[in-house]
Amino acid sequence: MHIRVYGVQADELAAYEKAEGKYGFTFEFAEAPLNEDTVDQVHNCDGIILVTTCNVTEKVVKELSERGVKYLATRSAGSDHVDYDAVVKYGLHCANVPFYAPEAIAEHTILMALWVLRHGKKSYEMVKSGDFTMKGLKGRQLGQLTAGVLGTGRIGRTTMTLLNGFGTKVLGWDPYPNAAAEKLGTYVSKEELFAQSDIVFLHCPLTDDSYHLICDETLALMKPGAVLVNTARGGLVDHAAVLKALESGKLSGFAFDVYENEAEFVRKKLPVDQISDPVFKALFQREDTAYSAHVAFYTDGAINSMIEVTLDNLKEYETTGQCRNEIKVEGGAV
């Protein structure tokens, strides 16, 4: 199988070189993400390895099908960057990596939460300017707060476990509660979670039902001075509504590793003043926010796992025409 790989970093090339012998694959590497403007660069490929900066619309899927591509494998758990109805329509298959080192994302989630709670950005800027006082730096202890975790899958449960270590009171909500999470916190309704939590963590997949889960209405349910942390998917949050909540004091902090319109700048070198999105720039520049550029997953262990499972998925497709990690959507498998 010849595979075109998107989003590969220089330090990952050795893993693909080893894979050529182990899997019998050959690879080519693309610099620009796959989208409607770059799909014409795909030639003579059986499979495609995707990352979340790719935008696989129906037009892209149709052209891939016409160019002989059979299999898509996204190197992520999230899958909202692929039009799965189109994948089914044009007879392709697509698999994901359902889980990979959930500790990586959970650890980064706690890091960002603490950075906001302890005024990390303000403290850094003060010291950088020669101000070694403590003015405005009194923080809050995570262990003295109530935390709400929206989404109690593997990553959400790992974050709950870390919160337990701090002594935090943990609440959880998920449309599909599970016994493992019940041991780590108390399930409540979504409305109760917003009302009772001092800090809210998002670990949900992005679906039609969860799009803009955080909006004016849900922000209104939160405690005055609550903190919001999102290391899941940018589309879960109406960022304009969050900006208003920060400006009014309804939220006292916002930490985010993902942004709804991040394709303009993520994985690129671009000065902030050249980014066209005014909401992102306003959020980025505030003292009460923390932003990282979609790197919560980015550890050596997680990357090795993602690459291995992705290649296993493609090998399984090549061998059997099916894959245990084929993504399921309403109406059939994709």
- How many Å apart are CA 227 and CA 148, to the nearest integer? 10
3 state SS of 234: helix
DSSP string, 8-49: --GGGHHHHHHHHHHH--EEEEESSPPSTTTGGG--S-SEEE
Amino acid, single-letter form, for residue 215: C
Catalytic residue among 93, 154, 294, 318: 294
217 is catalytic: no
- How many Å apart are CA 202 and CA 230, to the nearest integer? 5
- Altogether, the residues listed in the chain come to a count of 334
- How many Å apart are CA 89 and CA 303, to the nearest integer? 31
- How many Å apart are CA 104 and CA 159, to the nearest integer? 10
294 is catalytic: yes
Among the listed residues 260, 197, 224, the one whose alpha carbon sits nearest the alpha carbon of residue 52: 260
- How many Å apart are CA 47 and CA 150, to the nearest integer? 34
Among the listed residues 203, 281, 285, 287, the one whose alpha carbon sits nearest the alpha carbon of residue 251: 287
- How many Å apart are CA 133 and CA 120, to the nearest integer? 14
DSSP classification of residue 327 = P
Task: Please list the active-site residues.
Answer: 233, 262, 294
